[in-house]
Amino acid sequence: MKAPAGKNKPHAPGADAPNLIMGASGAVGVWLLAIAAIIMAMITIGGLTRLTGSGLSITQWDLVMGAIPPLNDAQWADAFAKYRLIPQFRVENAGMTLEGFKGIFWWEWTHRFLGRFLGVAFAVPFVWFAWKGTIRRAQWPRFVVLFLLGALQGLIGWWMVQSGLEVRVSVSQYRLAIHLGTALLLLVAILWIALEYLRPFSAAPRPAKRGFVFATLVYVQMLLGALVAGLHAGLVYNTWPDMNGRLLPEGVFFHQPWWINFFENDGLAQFDHRIGAYLVAGFALWLWAMSRRAGEWARITADLVLGITGFQIALGITTLLMQAPETLAALHQVTAATLLCAAVWHAYELRLAVPGTGRSP
């Protein structure tokens, strides 16, 4: 279908355009930012689901009917009976009442419902924008890939839950890290494409290696955080900057083979996460210094990155010293995701920046 004429003519990513695109193409960017906000909400709710031990409360996966929660006493009794069959109930929650079960059920149901809502909120507007020509045909494949990545994320989520239904009392830390990592990839991809629609390149984009390296470092640090969460490693060595008076945790290579300790030794997992935080802090400071002669928005986003990094590290230390209370731990996770978004935005602005001019093209 032919694209609308006039000021609302869509600007494909990379097309000649002013700094901020409004009109039809801008609407695509705003829609994608809304999708990113939903993913951020899912990451937040997912963190709270894990912290409250709610992730195993729904022991079945049904794409359609699973969107409907129990509506009467019989359905609630059935859901609770299924939960009582898994190890988590028998080992950790044997005294739980039906009312207590409802408390953990709603966290997991909300997380899954947001996933279903995300699929609809992505698919329906995409079909509309594609039909109107606002999203050009050449751009359709990558939007389809985004949708499929979201669907894969749902399958990974169920695969993660399955790891805690038969033997374990919690989900596998490996699957938890994969689940979070896939969500973050989806978040980053959607944010980048949104920026392309809102601030398309008016000239050939410039290299931005340092921006991409920093974003990758934050991403890896979040995966290390997922291992810490999966191993409940935030509940050990609750001192800083030492680890209960030591530089290294005890029994660093207790498990065999030695390399598996990086993934299954709670003390070493926490140590790795601490080292990652120091690397992120140092890189953020260097990134800020290197961006002083970049474009205006590159400088602004570098300021944002440095500020969020400082807050996140202070928050992480406080969370550790207080033995990971739910509110602080959840805030720590969502702040990390916010830092990743800021890092991606900064990398994008570096691609736009004209060095030495103090402006963006």
Beta-carbon count within 10 A of 122 CB? 22
pLDDT of 20 reads 52
CA angle 327, 329, 335 (to 5 degrees): 100
Report d(CA 197, CA 199) in Å as an integer: 6
| Number of helices followed by number of strands (H, E) in the chain | 11, 0
Q: What tens digit of pLDDT does each residue of 202-216 get? A: 666 677 889 999 999
**Contact residues for 247 (Cβ-Cβ < 8 A; gap 6+):** none
- In angstroms, the CA 45 to CA 49 distance is 6
3-state secondary structure 327-350: HHHHHHHHHHHHHHHHHHHHHHHH
User: Can you give the pTM of this predicted structure?
Assistant: 0.88
* 16-20, Cβ contacts within 8 angstroms, sequence gap of 24 or more: 16/202, 17/200, 17/202, 18/202, 19/199, 19/360, 19/361, 20/198, 20/199
Give residue-wise pLDDT tens across range 125-139: 999 999 999 999 999
Query: What pLDDT is attached to residue 353?
Result: 59
Residues 6+ apart with CB under 8 A from 59: 82, 83, 85, 86, 161, 165
Q: For residue 70, what pLDDT is reported?
A: 93
Spatial CB neighbours of 176, under 8 Å, sequence gap ≥ 6: 50, 160, 226, 227, 229, 230
pLDDT-derived band at 241 (thresholds 50, 70, 90) equals: very high
User: Which residues make Cβ contacts (< 8 Å) with residue 85, sequence separation at least 6?
Assistant: 59
pLDDT at 292: 84
Q: Please report, for the chain, the start and end positions of each structural domain, with discontinuous segments joined by +.
A: 17-200, 204-361
Structure tokens at 7: 């000021």
Residue 14 has pLDDT above 70, yes or no: no
Weakest-pLDDT range from 5-14, 104-113, 276-285, 338-347: 5-14
Tell me the C-alpha distance between 320 and 40, whole Å: 23
Distance of CA 80 to the CA centre of its chain: 30
**CA distances for 219 relative to 6, 48, 184, 214, 349, angstroms:** 41, 20, 8, 9, 19
pLDDT of residue 25 exceeding 90, the answer is: no
- Residue 219, pLDDT score: 98
Q: Which tokens hold the place of 29?
A: 């960017």
Residue range 38-55, pLDDT digits in tens: 999 999 999 999 888 899
pLDDT digits (tens, 9 = 90+) for 128-182: 999 999 999 999 999 999 999 999 999 999 999 999 988 888 899 999 999 999 9
